[in-house]
Structure 1
């Protein structure tokens, strides 16, 4: 598959979740998703990158208050909560996040989604094929 073909089959290529307290936000996501993030400095800006395979969509927590601030009404990103949305929501609450109601079953066996507010005030979605 060529880069042009890959690009045409993928809508999202990268995402950034803004943070005002970088270390708090990184700890929150590491706990909520039960995975380590890779801390880096990119263009003078601290970022913590979510693990992803080469060529797959990637993203990061970003501390750049001059450019981006957390907001509940901004773009909505869905993070992979596999294998279970319910387990991820429980970790979100233990990490200090606030869930927005129960998980929702999607039609056509697409899986389940749920929403939460992170430690910084961002509204984020979760998706997984299984509820529990």
Structure 2
């Protein structure tokens, strides 16, 4: 296995609101699917990238204290972090260097649903 992480799911309460939030912040699109009572919006990505989705349904409760998913923040974290605030989220931890920037940078934000989510950038 080349990646430690293989899939992620971000719980949401309001799927249209959450999709608008992530489409704006990450400049991404989704493939919508339903599985039983679960509503899903799968992030577009190309193999062999690790994929994931927004999901709404029983047993999916947004929160800010659980595991943190780190999404690709592109080359400059300041841009998606600015869009977080514009879309009604909030920055919890600004762009922070990892080992003085030698290992990249990360940030945390609170999304439109109340989840704490991370961003990562190599520069």
Do the structures match in fold with TM over 0.5? yes
Counterpart for residue 61 of structure 1? 54
2:12 aligns to what? 19
Give the structure with the higher percent helix.
Answer: 1
Give the Å deviation of 1:126.
0.3
Name segments (4+ residues, structure 1) moved above 4 Å: none
Matches within 5 A, 1:107-122: 107=99, 109-122=102-115
Is the aligned partner of 1:94 residue 2:86? yes
Q: TM-score, normalised by structure 1?
A: 0.86
Unaligned runs of 5+ in 2: none
Q: Which has the larger Rg?
A: 1
Q: What corresponds to 2:45 in structure 1?
A: 52
Whole-angstrom CA distance in 2 between matches of 1:83 and 1:122: 23
Q: Secondary structure at the match of 2:48?
A: coil
1:33 paired residue number: 26
Q: Distance in 2 between matches of 1:59 and 1:87?
A: 22
Stretches of structure 1 that go unaligned for 5 or more consecutive residues are 1-7
Higher fraction of strand: 2
TM-score (norm 2): 0.92
What's the C-alpha RMSD, in Å, of the aligned pairs?
1.3
